Structure 1
Amino acid sequence: MLDRIDNLLAELKKQQADSCFISSTANVYYLSGYYTDPHERIIGIILVDQLDPIFLLPKMEEKDAREAGWKHLIVGYYDHENPWHCLQEFLKKQEKQPAVMAIEKNHLTIQRYNELQETFPNVTYTDATEAIQNLRLIKTKKEHDLLRTAAELADFGVKTGVEALKEGVTELEVVATLEHALKKQGIREMSFQTMVLFGPKTASPHGNPDKTKLEKNNLVLFDLGVIYEGYCSDITRTVAFGNITDQQKHIYDTVLGAQERAVEASKAGTAVGELDKIARNYITEQGYGEYFTHRLGHGLGIETHEYPSMHSENTLPIEPGMCFTIEPGIYVPEVGGVRIEDMLFTTNYMPIELTKYPKTLQIIS
């Protein structure tokens, strides 16, 4: 992890920052290799120029952090202690006081920011958000391998869910079946709340599964992902349980066509926003533009939704090593919705689709 820390410090020096405080769970994991949910407690990676990296965390987690691979300094604190005072005293002993500190302005609460200012009253603050999101944007080979395995498990989840479909089964029962199967594969946690929607409910892009029962001639939408060794997957598939209408078939074919066109265009040098426009223009040409109500996709890695946001105004050029989703959708009230989503890994040439569950319309009889 030291190379990531060195790279971050190098980026922050361009902002004249001689230190930084990183406390979001995802970025702490990225820099330390240790994942923890601190709840109300404070955790953070503190980087100060010419000083070994510091991990501020509860005493009870010191051993776990070491076992996860953290080889640098630790400032541990008991629950009755003020962690900021512990950090301040440690730095005084090291005769190190920051002058310009980079922080995650998109993450720190006002309360945490005020506490930080009280601890370091003479420090000027700058933003580390862009620097660290740019580092996380380009994945290493190891990260690619982890994302690929996470994608394979997502494929397995969809396959299991499709096999569980039968007349009268509820959305939540299908969720339970596929998540149980993934637990047996060693998955501890889904990357977000699993979505299984039947019939007209598929027209809600972020619908909630409930006790709705599957009926003949329903569309069924699956949206799910897993966390595998700290990295997330995300896949969406829509299938037909029995016969569907000509309009629903046209909607499906339109979404698939839009997705295929955007995937094909996902090459190095193409602007992110251009992909959204390609998919959106095709859907509009087919008469469903007003029913495509969200962006084309999002970055993916340690978090399910991370930089970049794949919307039409994003001019960021695609680079080799990026991982993002392509997920156009059409949602027509009372008719139903279709979304097809895949994870892509970009190269110097054609993109690699990490999720591979079939996309041709599957009719479950």
Structure 2
Amino acid sequence: MLDQILKDRQVQAILITDPYNMRHVSGFRGGEGALYISGTQTVLITDSRYTEAAAKESSFTVLQESNQHKREEILKECIEKEQVQGDFALGYEDQSMLCCDFAKLTKALPVQCWVPLESSINDLRQVKTQEEIQYLKMAEEIGDRAFARLLPLLKPGMTELEAAAELEYLMKQEGAEDLSFNTIVASGLNSSMPHAIPGTKKFEKGDFITFDFGCKYKGYCSDMTRTVVLGKASDKQKEIYNVVLKAQLAGLDALKAGKSGASVDKVARDIIADAGYGEYFGHGLGHSVGLFIHENPRLSPSDDSILQENMIETVEPGIYVPGLGGVRIEDMVVVTKEGHINLAHSPKELIELPVE
């Protein structure tokens, strides 16, 4: 695939600096450094903190950068080894490289043509291998187990921060190596904010509580959302929850290889709109997940990408009503020819947690 990118972009070499792309292309997990790839060289540049690990994790030639031998000097040496007639063209990650880094490199390197790679390197990560799917499955299972252990601990008086800390601790106990993102715990009126930051608000009887959480296993992320009620749900809470659940199940049923992200989004969005809550569902239905938590393609009105077998997508509709609260239900699934394989197994029917 990299050879094809070299050919399609008409460049002699590719420079990769995005840490997730570095991991995917080379196997190196450190995240600090750069890859130089041409028809004759595959070079991994990093500093002394990571050179030993890089040599174990990657088949690339590992070169150590330092204040005495800076990255741009090493890249210049790599370029000078190439036998190129005419101008030298280098592909770079224009969607992630900082402007200051680009300015430094353009000044230091003997490159006549800088060619933006756009999303071509990121796109290599869209369709997952069976090994990657297994890692994603394990990460999601860790979240399932941790959430099941958390539910009996929830009670009035516990703060959002305390619940988030408990959930993160339980994920680590179950085998998580890191978090996929900062855990979201939003209760009561805070649950109307899709990405609320956990605070000192205490859980109260009758609260919606939304948990959006994930962890990493072997570098791969999980993502799941569940919303519960502390005590008995009101009729309005049940109505909103059931609309979201209906939309989520319909979105799952519509998902399969060959469909566009926009068409799947529309199925769930129409259900919420028909129930009178269209203005309260503002985000896309889902996104891909892998080494990074938000990847492409997405289930969104603005994404007409065609889904392929072994892509990963979340399906996470929500309704968020200011002054009342909100509900989101999210699963992470593998796209198949026939439909999907759901990696999440936590219950989705409305959970009313008993309160003494």
TM bracket (short chain):
over 0.9
Q: Which residue of 1 aligns with 2:61?
A: 73
Report the alpha carbon displacement of residue 318 of structure 1 after superposing the two structures with TM: 1.3
Contact 1:161 1:175 (8 Å CA) reproduced: no
Q: Which residue of 2 aligns with 1:347?
A: 336
Q: Which residue of 1 aligns with 2:73?
A: 85
State the alpha-carbon separation in 2 of the partners of residues 188 and 321 from structure 1.
Answer: 24
Q: How does 1:113-128 map to 2 (within 5 A)?
A: 113-128=102-117
Q: Which residue of 1 aligns with 2:6?
A: 12
Q: Which deviations, in whole Å up to 9, do the C-alpha atoms of 1:109-164 show, x marking residues without a partner?
A: 11111122123343312222322222211111111111111110111232233222
State the alpha-carbon separation in 2 of the partners of residues 188 and 116 from structure 1.
Answer: 34
Q: TM-score normalized by structure 2?
A: 0.95
SS at match of 1:67: helix
SS at match of 1:136: coil
Report the alpha carbon displacement of residue 191 of structure 1 after superposing the two structures with TM: 0.4
Q: Which residue of 2 aligns with 1:237?
A: 226
Q: Which residue of 1 aligns with 2:277?
A: 288
Q: How does 1:292-307 map to 2 (within 5 A)?
A: 292-307=281-296
Given the alignment of the two structures, is residue 32 of structure 1 paired with residue 21 of structure 2, yes or no? no
SS at match of 1:20: strand
Report the alpha carbon displacement of residue 37 of structure 1 after superposing the two structures with TM: 4.3
Q: Which residue of 2 aligns with 1:133?
A: 122
Given the alignment of the two structures, is residue 59 of structure 1 paired with residue 48 of structure 2, yes or no? yes
Q: TM-score normalized by structure 1?
A: 0.93
**Between 96-105 and 285-294, the greater mean CA deviation after superposition:** 96-105
Corresponding letter in the other structure for 1:71 = S
Contact 1:157 1:224 (8 Å CA) reproduced: no
Given the alignment of the two structures, is residue 48 of structure 1 paired with residue 38 of structure 2, yes or no? yes
Corresponding letter in the other structure for 1:53 = T
Q: How does 1:1-365 map to 2 (within 5 A)?
A: 7-38=1-32, 43-49=33-39, 51-68=40-57, 70-92=58-80, 94-96=81-83, 99-365=88-354
State the alpha-carbon separation in 2 of the partners of residues 194 and 20 from structure 1.
Answer: 36
State the alpha-carbon separation in 1 of the partners of residues 279 and 53 from structure 2.
Answer: 50
Report the alpha carbon displacement of residue 103 of structure 1 after superposing the two structures with TM: 1.1
Unmatched 5+ stretches in structure 1: 1-6
Corresponding letter in the other structure for 1:44 = A
Instruction: Calculate the aligned-residue CA RMSD, in Å.
Output: 1.5
Contact 1:12 1:128 (8 Å CA) reproduced: no
Corresponding letter in the other structure for 2:77 = E
Q: Which deviations, in whole Å up to 9, do the C-alpha atoms of 1:69-93 show, x marking residues without a partner?
A: x12212212245422113313443x
Contact 2:14 2:36 (8 Å CA) reproduced: yes
Unmatched 5+ stretches in structure 2: none
Contact 2:30 2:54 (8 Å CA) reproduced: no
**Between 173-182 and 254-263, the greater mean CA deviation after superposition:** 173-182
**Between 121-130 and 135-144, the greater mean CA deviation after superposition:** 121-130
